[in-house]
Structure 1
Amino acid sequence: MKLIKLDAIDSTNDFLKALASQEELDNFTVVTAENQTKGKGQMGAKWKSESGKNLIMSVLVKDFLFDNEQVFNLSIIVSLAVIETLKSLDISNLSIKWPNDIMSYNKKIGGILIENTLKSDGRIVSVVGLGLNVNQTNFDELPNASSLAVLSGKTFDKDILPFLITERIEQKIQSWQTNSAVFWDEYFNSLFRKGVPMPFKNLHPETSGQNFMGIIQGVSPVGKIRILLEDDSVSEFDIKEVQMLY
């Protein structure tokens, strides 16, 4: 694993994407930063992080995805890799809030943003961005957030985390062909608030703003969330169509 450490950058994802477009990088090249000025989350949300306290990293993944219908497979791999790493550090009550926020109890401790680029030869090159709250303890402006330090009461060596997480990503990619069904099951079993009635907000342009009750039933092969509605029908929503209210 090649590691590029930066002090401050606008976005590790943008930096790694630009670098990968200029030269042929090794698979699983990792970029980390102490501070990120324009961190991104799902649907353009900003990722705020206290400088020097948390893990901000991006990892290049090549030669895994070959079809746009398969892109969610990488979300599963990365989410499970992060969950397994945190379990090894004795962080408890971990779950994945669809599609790939990392939760402990009902607090968000990490977020994943995967950006895919289709190359002229048909290859898909992915940049996996991860923000993980590690040693930050002040979340006055983020009431739904927490960190490894708050949850465990101790300080962590965040510099070892990129190695632990990337190693697990690489292992899961190598074993995907024989273990994909197992990984899908693990992902479903790790889903936040699955199987319990809860409110959602409909973000679809035609019905935007309407709240409804539903029960998470699973995730489709292309990554859409499946929700059992009050009329006993099951509908699928993508990330731009529904928001979980909790």
Structure 2
Amino acid sequence: MKVIKLDAIDSTNDFLKGLSATEELENYTVVTAENQTKGRGQMGAVWNSEKSKNLIMSVFVKGLLVGVEEIYKLNIATALALIEVLKTFNIQNLSIKWPNDIMSANYKIAGILIENSFKSDGSISSVIGIGLNVNQTNFENLPKASSMAVITNSSFDKDELVPLIVEQFEVNLELINLNPQYLWEKYTEVLFKKGVPMPFKLENQKAFMGIIQGVSATGKLIVLLENDSIVEYGLKEIQMLY
């Protein structure tokens, strides 16, 4: 595992994508940054992080997916890697809020942004961005955010987390190819608010009640509606209100 440490960068994902376009990178090349000026989340959301307090990292992988239909495996492998590592640091009540947020109880402590590139020969390379709140304790104007430090009343070595996360991610990717059902079941078990009646909002702002059943192989959220129908929703089609 090669690690490139940066002081400040606009985006570790953008840096790693640019690097992969100019040179041949080995699998699991990692970029970390003390400060990220243009961090992004899903759907263009901004990821704010206090300088030097949190883990900002991106991981490059290539040639590990056979086809487009396997892309969501990266989400599963990454999210479960974070869950497993955080458990070892006594972070409680962990869950995965679809599609890419890691929660402790009702508070977000990590986010994932995966960006894929498709080559003409059919190969796929991916950059997996991870933002993990580690030692930040001030979340003014972010009432739904928390950190490892807040939850445990302790401080942590960010650099120690990097190899642990990447090693678990690597194990998960191997496992999901050998026994995909096992990790799918683990992922489904820890879905945030699974099986609980929850309010949602559609693109047109229409609100409704539903119960999360799971996630489809293509990464859509499976929701049981009040009329007993089951509907799959894509990322931009639905928002959970909690």
TM-score interval for Structure 1 and Structure 2 normalised by the shorter chain: over 0.9
- CA offset digits 1:96-123 (Å, max 9, x no partner): 0001200000000000000000012211
Contact 2:176-2:182 within 8 A present in 1 as well: no
1:162 shift after superposition:
1.1
Residue 142 of structure 1: how far off its partner (Å): 0.4
Q: For residues 2-32 of structure 1, what are the alpha-carbon distances to aligned partners after superposition, in whole Å with 9 as ceiling and x for unaligned?
A: 0000000000000000000111001000000
Counterpart in 1 of 2:17? 17
Distance 2:63 2:69 in 1: 15
Normalising by structure 2, we get a TM-score of 0.99
What is the aligned partner in structure 2 of residue 239 from structure 1? 235
Contiguous gaps of at least 5 residues in structure 1: none
1:64 shift after superposition: 1.3
RMSD in angstroms over aligned alpha carbons? 0.7
Distance 1:80 1:63 in 2: 21
Residues in 2 aligned to 1:64 and 1:98: alpha-carbon distance in whole angstroms: 23
Q: Deviations over 1:134-192 (max 9, x none)?
A: 00000111000000000000000011111100001111122222221110000000100
| Alignment correspondent of 1:91 | 91
User: Separation in 2 of the partners of 1:49 and 1:137?
Assistant: 11
Alpha-carbon shift at residue 85 of structure 1 (Å): 0.3
3-state DSSP of counterpart to 1:209? coil
C-alpha distance in 2 between matches for 1:188 and 1:245: 20
Q: Which residue of 2 aligns with 1:32?
A: 32
Q: Which residue of 1 aligns with 2:216?
A: 220
Letter in 1 for 2:237: E
- Amino acid across the alignment from 1:242: I
Give the total of aligned pairs. Answer: 242
TM-score of the two chains, using structure 1 as the length reference: 0.97
Deviations along 1:65-95, one digit per CA (max 9) or x if unpaired, are 1211111111000000000000011111000
The CA distance in 2 between the partners of 1:97 and 1:173, in whole Å, is 20
Letter in 2 for 1:214: G
* Aligned counterparts, 1:160-239, within 5 A: 160-203=160-203, 208-239=204-235
Unaligned 5+ runs, structure 2: none
Provide the residue aligned with 1:4 in structure 2: 4
Distance 1:100 1:77 in 2: 11
Equivalent-residue separation in structure 2 for 1:239 and 1:157 (angstroms):
33
Aligned to 1:140: 140
SS at match of 1:159: helix
Deviations 1:209-246 (A, max 9, x none): 10000000111110100000011000000110000000
Equivalent AA in structure 2 for residue 230 of structure 1: E
Give, as a single letter, the amino acid of the residue that structure 2 aligns with 1:193.
Answer: K
**Residue matched to 1:111:** 111
Question: Deviations for 1:12-70, whole angstroms, at most 9, x for unmatched residues?
Answer: 00000000011100100000000000000000000000000000000001121121111
